[in-house]
Amino acid sequence: MTETMLQMTGIVKRFPGVVALAGVDLDVRPGEVHCLLGQNGAGKSTLIKVLAGAHRPDEGRILWEGSQVGFGSPVAAVRHGIATIYQELDLVDGLSVADNIFLAHEYASAGFVRGRETREVTVALLERLGHPDISPGTEVGRLSAAGKQIVSMARALSHDARLIVMDEPSAVLAHDEVENLFRVIRGLTAAGTAIVYISHRLEEIREIGDRVTVLKDGRTVAAGLDARTTPTTEIVKLMTGRTIEYAFPPRQSEPADGDPLLEVSGLTRAGEFVDVSFAVRPGEIVGLAGLVGSGRSEILETVYGARKAGAGTVSMGGRRVRPGSVPAAVRAGMGLAPEERKAQALFMLASIAENVVASTLPRFARAGFVDRRAALEAAAAQTAALELRPKDPRRPVRTLSGGNQQKVVVGRWLLKGCKVLLLDEPTRGVDIGARSELYALIRDLADSGVGVVVVSSEVPEVLGLADRVLVVADGRIVHEAPAAELDEHQVLDLVMEGSAVITKEDVV
């Protein structure tokens, strides 16, 4: 189909002191996957909030099926057939799967919810998405991040949407779940539903996209590019204004042969992982590769003391760290940048400075009061060293892009002087330009003698960053090797073979 379903022309959106959109054009056709690309801060999120009715544009016009419209609220957008799945999922953890899917548009009669009908439709939606294993009655807060993503997709489908906006839908999905997502998308587009797909993973754009629109600094810099034939170098240059040649900067020095900074021995947590052992030397980057749900994040959180192990030990500098105690881990010299940085690592309403000094407040205490000037100066020096943008440490951290928020988390632990830094999905939701900067930062940390452990769903990222890779499958380390001796296909084969072997053993 070639007719236009949605046309946004000259969209301008201003906030106090900021022009978020300075003239954006976007057109979407029925039955296509239209990919929206741009660095963090380019205007993608603001544009989709305008489309979703969460923001009203200051200038420009929106045509929906040839008629000019103005979505005054998200409800109005949904009524027109536009559903949005945000990167930060807007689910209610305390409600069930079914209640979340039909929140605000329940099957009801005479003021009473028709529970049986709701459950039946929920089951049908989840089966359509390839996840009949998710029960309609399960509390959403008990689901994994990937499970929550599926529920959010089911909610969009429950509105019979004709255009679905997906903001980083694959960020928390494993490889096989991404393939399932693409299967669902192809089924939707075959029926005429249009998809606006936002992702920083250019390889996904090649596989699922039809056309591409690129935003930079709040403007459309390219529209209607062929997703499969446009060279990656051209897309990157349009997004960043420069050519990025070295995604993974070379190591300036090899890891030292000294005693390990971190030693994990026989770590076990029932139902999550078994008999995990590894060590990290000064200046070494160790990568944990595996599928979502393999136990990688749980291992990291247990090492850090956020979860208590049932067996095994964690030692720093030859001394055991008290299990299940985050303060003990921090005192020993550990820091963690968790997967969900906004929910688990940052105070979103606080300033950059307040976030950076959060773990070192006693250093700035004078007679029980915080020396705000000294704290601000220390935070400013730290953020300047990390090339944080914008540079003002008094700015609310919620206004930063994903890459700069991640720098704030890392800056906190650098100011603390941590010896081992644990990074869980460090580039999730981060654009290609900021990824390159984060990779350089991680390498610089290792070159300075900090031990680093990296968990990532992207195997090329683990192989490109790490000196040594541990392959995790079903809660066990099934293989260990120098990164230089592995490639992506080998790692994926090891993951699948390891899972198969373990499943067979468990049955026996």
| Token representation of residue 234 | 């051209």
**Sequence-ordered list of residues with C-beta below 8 angstroms from that of 395, at least 6 positions apart, any chain:** 351, 352
Q: pLDDT-based confidence at 503, cuts 50/70/90?
A: very low
Q: Is the pLDDT of residue 170 over 90?
A: no
Would you state the pLDDT for residue 497? 66
How far apart CA 172 and CA 161 sit, in angstroms, is: 23
Beta bridge partners of 421: 335, 452
Closest of 464, 457, 415 to residue 442, by C-alpha = 464
More confident residue, 56 or 18: 56
Exposure on the CB side of residue 157, measured as CA atoms within 13 A: 22
Q: What is the average pLDDT across 496-504?
A: 48
Q: How far apart are alpha carbons 426 and 461 in whole angstroms?
A: 10
| CA–CA dist 235, 201 (Å, integer) | 12
Rounded CA-CA distance 388/352 in Å is 10
Average pLDDT over residues 290-308: 90
Please name every residue paired with 34 in a beta bridge, in sequence order, or none if there are none. Answer: 196, 211
Q: Is residue 246 pLDDT above 60, yes or no?
A: no
**Which pair of structure tokens corresponds to residue 271?**
């139902």
The answer to whether the beta carbons of residues 35 and 203 sit under 8 Å apart is no
Whether residue 30 has a cis bond before it, omega within 30° of 0 = no
Average pLDDT over residues 62-82: 92
What is residue 498's predicted lDDT score, i.e. its pLDDT?
57
β-pairing verdict for 108-109 and 112-113 = antiparallel
Cα–Cα distance measured from residue 467 to residue 258, given in angstroms and rounded to the nearest whole number = 15
Single-letter amino acid code for the residue at 386:
L
Higher pLDDT pick, 304 / 236: 304
Q: What is the mean pLDDT of residues 197-215?
A: 91
2 band by pLDDT with thresholds 50, 70 and 90: low
Residue 419, token pair as written in the block = 């010896």
Q: How confident is the model at residue 243 (pLDDT cuts 50, 70, 90)?
A: low
Beta strand pairing status for 476-482 and 369-370?
Answer: unpaired
* Domain assignments of the chain as residue spans, ordered by start: 262-507
Q: Say how far apart CA 185 and CA 130 lie, in whole Å.
A: 12
| Per-residue model confidence as pLDDT tens digits over 335-355 | 999 988 888 889 999 999 999
Average pLDDT, the chain: 88
Calculate helix-pair angle for 115-128, 145-158, nearest 10 degrees.
110
Q: By the 8 A CB rule, do 393 and 376 touch?
A: yes
What's the pLDDT tens digit per position in 248-277? 777 777 777 789 999 999 999 998 999 999
Question: What is the spatial distance between Cα 334 and Cα 413, in angstroms, rounded to a whole number?
Answer: 8
Q: Is the pTM of this model over 0.85?
A: no
Mean pLDDT, rounded, for 226-242: 84
**Architecture of 262-507 per CATH?**
3-Layer(aba) Sandwich (3.40)
Q: Rg of the Cα trace of the chain?
A: 24
